[in-house]
Amino acid sequence: MFAATRIAPSAFAKRSVSPRDFNAYPKNVGILAMDAYFPSTFVKQEDLETYDSVAKGKYTVGLEQDNMAFCGDREDIYSMCLTATQNLLEKYNIPKDSIGRLEVGTETVLDKSKSVKTVLMSLFDKNHNIEGIDTINACYGGTSALLNAVNWIESSSWDGRYALVVTGDIAVYAPGNARPTGGAGVVAMLIGPEAPLALERGLKTSYFEHAWDFYKPNLESEYPMVDGKSSIVCYLRALDYCYRNFRDMYEKQTLEPFTRSKIDYALFHSPFAKMSRKCYGRLAYNDFLKHPETFRLTEDQVRNFSTLGDEESYSSKEVEKTFYEVTKDEYKTKVEPVQLLPKQLGNSYTGSLYTSLLSLIANKQDQDLLNKRLFMFSYGSGLASTAFSLKVASSPAEIRQKSDILNRLALRTAVSPEQFSAAMLLREDTHSKLNYRPVGEVKDLFKGTYYLDRIDEMKRRHYQRRL
């Protein structure tokens, strides 16, 4: 028998935290290398508008989406993560025994027991000493995996090797209003010290709560249950909390005031591109609440907005429209450059925030990036969220050159909405089959892509690589 230990209540009293000394930590821990894998096929959103018999602009203007990546029955989350990981290792010539941690962030689940990470271990030859596992919570898993990797490197557990973070999903929806918000993509990142994209220490804050805005209770289907209006409110509530807390942390650390003017580029989880416009406007609204005197608004607007509660403000079209207008020029310079891949691929769930990061590097040269602060906001329904910041500490030119995003996007093939719908129906019909051989054409995949060769009588999946 273990005797219960009596602990004085005061032991759990909230204590003030003194400023931390970061000098003992490895310097500039962050993203050393990164790459993205996306399928070779996509459907144009403007074609889907016609096919779905909706108003012109519903997807291209209302969601601000251009194209949507998708895959047929030859690809699944295992194959996509295998491709992204192997491509990163090859492009950067990373020794396999230099990896000491590998964590996967995804919500695309094929097995209730076996992790994606264990599938990826097939790439590491004799290096079996690799920590880490899968991290799952809607679109947040990639950020959790990244923060876990950084924490490992900054801890007494670190053995001096690099960490790998692999994050992404296949986002598919049942026919209807949500289907155009799908997408597919996986991002792989090498994490270590002296990184060009370094996390700013002491500037990270999270918001978690219990919500039913998006979830997947049916394990026999890829399709989620979605409460769209609730999800947007949950997202904005999490953003408000994180931005305000991030602001307070910055001001305590630097003894300087913080507004969005301290942000050089703003990156948000992007279920659809229009959401980032909502988010950046929301930052301005939060700045207004603290410093209304710095905004050129009418007396009625100042009075109405100042007395509006948070929950009321989430559904206020006047708030949204006003701060769209206030931030329209900033939005073009601080947010539009990060939206290339989210607009081209659609929602890659856990990978979304990191496709935005690759988009920024693809769209901007070093002179526009060096020493800049990137505000990163990660959200996953259910809900989990974190705001943190990256500093561009050195040139990301190698990432730009090796990821080659612009040229690779141009190599994709556009297919008709009819072909897209047939591919979605095929995925639906074959999702949990056994003794199945996919029918998709291997020649249509990019070279270097891992693909599903067959599912055997015990539902074990077998893969090949298109060389």
| CB distance 283 to 260 below 8 Å | yes
- Which of these, 301, 280, 388, lies nearest to 31 by C-alpha position? 388
In whole angstroms, what is the distance from residue 457 CA to residue 242 CA? 48
Alpha carbon distances (Å) from 201 to 22, 115, 150, 253, 391: 8, 30, 11, 10, 10
Could you say which of 71, 139, 242, 279 is catalytic?
139
- For residue 86, the 8-state DSSP code is H
In whole angstroms, what is the distance from residue 392 CA to residue 389 CA? 10
Residues 6 or more apart whose Cβ sits within 8 Å of residue 347: 139, 171, 181, 182, 183, 270, 271, 272
In whole angstroms, what is the distance from residue 352 CA to residue 357 CA? 9
Catalytic (active site) residue 139: yes
Could you say which of 81, 269, 279, 320 is catalytic?
269
In whole angstroms, what is the distance from residue 204 CA to residue 249 CA? 8
Beta bridge partners of 186: 37, 168
Half-sphere exposure of 402 (CA within 13 A, CB side): 19
Burial of 148 (0-12, 13-18, 19+ CB in 10 A): buried
Q: Is 10 helix (H, G, I), strand (E, B) or coil?
A: helix
| CB distance 310 to 285 below 8 Å | no
- Which of these, 415, 435, 436, lies nearest to 424 by C-alpha position? 415
- For residue 436, the 8-state DSSP code is B
Catalytic (active site) residue 107: yes
Could you say which of 107, 234, 242, 320 is catalytic?
107
Active site residues: 107, 139, 269
